[in-house]
Structure 1
């Protein structure tokens, strides 16, 4: 049996105090479709969309980056029809040596050049190996799906690196969350130099769950982030030339058990809530509603990240990655990519 007593204890605590999800409004059920499903016990952790529309997904249960390619002849019809036919194929892009899994991914500078977090994180015990984390460059500009992978830098101070966001494309700066320490590093992808630039109380883990700041996005000189253990969705003003904060953090919404997320054009966040098996919408005013899923459904069981499509221009399709429900009340299945019409 997998050692997920920490999640079960959290869920039991939620039930004892009244399930937070029950107080939320729920949107009408959206049109959804499984795009691609991986084998059992595959934990998909994060997602990035290439300019071609292909999906890159990181795997936490193995140190692998996969490309999911949609079938252009059938995907739109299948989504509209809400069929059960898979819409895509998957190809291994790269396997990074000497680590157990991959986490955050972000596109930087040149189109089709990505950076990923690699490290040792056990999803059996939900523990991280401090000092095992590094940032890798994945150059996808060669004919698909081949890639050139190279290590950018080790971050030996890292406790449990997780989400990433592009800070300044022209200067080659990205930010990476250390969920275990509750801090943010700024990394220069041209030099590999990095420094700790944000250390805020809203980002810290706690005694119940050793995962603090998790998913991150930057919009209009604000760093938006989820803080998993504290169940916060927050933002902090940030200097995009240095990564340092320019003011205090602001809590936008509470009771958001967030992993990674994406922002729409209006500034609303679509947050993957693992292990609540839900995708939630958090408005800029702090209103929280359920977009898809629930604790008794496998639709987005173990939702880990979200990303809007890039090719249509209207962002009407939201892609969600899942852990397969590992450690949640629903039955375990293979991690998958789910398309949701917003």
Structure 2
């Protein structure tokens, strides 16, 4: 993506400026009317790119497509969808009938993804240990997908996030979070071989994963922790201790995205209906709410965020479950949606 070529200093200043402005409640953002392409208002709140029709829908994770559209996993049904964010439309790419729910997703090549599947009680968030597996999903130019099993992982307790960390001529290796075991599995996507490469009390409840600058960043949602660990980029093993970046028991960290130069983390707070920014350049790691709030119905139940560079814009897309886990104000729920924020 072209935004990766921005100079670190320039990008860092832009990100800090955006956080500063957003933090005082002035949102210099563009908006797109719900499912209506082309309409923008320079002083409105963040926009809705797409929303499902029915309550009970739940978007778990997002990956980028090569054409700047999105591909998502759903937790209420075992389906992978593509989202055309410019047109405000979506379609089912494929389903994985061997499981009840889909969770993590990571791109391993152009329009090829690893998807984590399993069985989960979405009311209690209780997983069925032994039900989890990893699949390769390929999507063609028409948005039609196929799913093929990479590996069943019956010894896993609760697989969740997945991240691509190593590509070779012969394969792509990914790391998969097992919240139940506080562990990371390394999976060879070509031959299906897997093993635990890190297991540590500091990873208890490990959920979403991102790789950047030799570090694996993670959230442990149940324990309300955001941290990182340096990795051996060949083996996927830890080469240093786990560092806790955020351990604030008033915040429920879920899916997150990192600024391309690693200066800022943007994070969904799940049951707290907000997106926060964490300044990773400041050793105190200060946080600020940049959108939503505990009583806000704008992004009920945000589950994750994802960067996309679309034309001149840096866009942060936000996935939600519509407040299924914790209705806003005790009663408000809505269908899951993809919202977006123009950062500059």
Q: CA deviation at 1:311?
A: 3.5
Please name the residue that 1:64 is paired with: 79
SS in structure 2 at match of 1:202: helix
Aligned mate of 1:238, from 225, 231, 250: 231
**Structure 1: how far apart are the matches of 2:143 and 2:153?**
28
**Local SS of the residue matching 2:106:** strand
Shift of 1:300: 1.3
Q: Which residue in 1 is equivalent to 2:272? A: 276
Deviations 1:132-159 (CA, angstroms, capped at 9, x unpaired): 000000112x332112210100011111
Deviations 1:188-245 (A, max 9, x none): 11111011011122211xxxxxxx1111101111000111122111100001111110
Measured after TM superposition, the shift of residue 36 of structure 1 is 0.7
8 Å contact kept, 2:309–2:315: no
Q: Following TM superposition, by how much is the alpha carbon of 1:91 offset from its aligned partner in structure 2, in angstroms?
A: 0.3
What is the Cα deviation at residue 27 of structure 1? 4.8
Q: Distance in 1 between matches of 2:245 and 2:200?
A: 15
- What is the correspondence of 1:18-167 to structure 2 with a 5 Å cutoff? 27-29=25-27, 30=29, 31-38=45-52, 39-71=54-86, 87-108=87-108, 110-140=109-139, 142-167=140-165
User: Which residue number in structure 1 is paired with residue 296 of structure 2?
Assistant: 297
Q: Does 1:263 align with 2:252?
A: no
What SS is found at the alignment partner of 2:223? coil
Q: Distance in 1 between matches of 2:104 and 2:309?
A: 19
Kindly indicate whether the alpha-carbon contact (under 8 Å) linking 1:27 and 1:290 is maintained by their aligned counterparts in 2: no
TM-score, scaled relative to structure 2: 0.82
For the residues of structure 1 that align with 2:215 and 2:265, how far apart are their CA atoms? 13
SS in 2 for 1:275: helix
Residue number in structure 2 paired with 1:320: 318
8 Å Cα contact 1:281-1:291 kept in structure 2: yes
Cα 1:244–1:27, aligned 2, differ >3 Å: closer, same or farther? Answer: farther
Aligned equivalents of 1:124, 1:229: Cα separation in 2? 15
In structure 2, what is the Cα distance between the partners aligned to 1:299 and 1:129?
32
Greater mean deviation of Cα atoms: 239-248 or 323-332: 323-332
CA distance in 2, matches of 1:27, 1:50: 32
State whether residues 123 and 325 of structure 2, in contact with CA within 8 Å, keep that contact through their aligned partners in structure 1. no
1:287 deviates by 1.2
Cα contact 1:101–1:120 (8 A) shared by 2: yes
- What is aligned with 2:41? none
Measure the CA separation in 2 of the matches of 1:280 and 1:62: 28
Is the contact made by 2:226 and 2:253 (CA closer than 8 Å) also made in structure 1? yes
Asked if structure 2 preserves the Cα contact closer than 8 Å seen for 1:202 and 1:230, the reply is no
Deviation (angstroms), 1:324 = 0.4
Q: Which runs of 5+ in 2 are unaligned?
A: 1-22, 30-44
Could you tell me how far 1:98 is from its partner in structure 2? 2.4
Q: Distance in 2 between matches of 1:66 and 1:200?
A: 34
Distance in 2, matches of 1:257 and 1:169, equals 32
- Residue 332 and residue 102 in structure 1: after superposition, are their counterparts in 2 closer, same or farther (change >3 A)? same
TM-score in terms of structure 1 length: 0.83
| Cα distance in 1 for residues equivalent to 2:273 and 2:294 | 6
- Alpha-carbon distance in 2 for matches of 1:296, 1:318: 21
TM-superposed deviation, 1:169: 2.0
> Which stretch of structure 1 is more off in the superposition, 330-339 or 175-184?
175-184
Aligned Cα RMSD in Å? Answer: 1.6
